[in-house]
Amino acid sequence: MYIVHRTQLYIDHELYRALAALAAARGETLSQVVRERLRRNLESERLVDPVRAIEQATGLWADRRDLPDTESYVRRLRADSHRRRGGKAGTKGRRR
């Protein structure tokens, strides 16, 4: 069973003209062109693999010299966190 929903969109004149020209060139209706473009856009959004995106971002700032060394930065954050809680740095997992 194929279900469709009727909707109304407000688009500016330039977008309308571009879509109408594309529809005329293809011998399709304006609705067909709009549906096809919407599907294509939604499919490209779904094709983004979050794991791949993270892998691609890994090392993105590796050559930056204006950023501190990551290990030192994390150690400073952890030390500050321990001080705020009243503990000593390096006591992770120990009970008092």
Res 91 pLDDT > 70: no
Res 89 pLDDT > 70: no
Task: Tell which residue, 75, 69, 72, has the closest CA to residue 90.
Answer: 75
The token duo for 75 is 């150690």
CA distances (Å), 31 to each of 37, 62, 70, 74, in order? 10, 47, 52, 54
Res 90 pLDDT > 60: no
Distance CA 24, CA 30 (A): 8
Res 92 pLDDT > 80: no
The token duo for 1 is 């069973």
The per-residue pLDDT for range 18-41, each reduced to its tens digit, is 999 999 999 999 999 999 999 998
Distance CA 46, CA 39 (A): 11
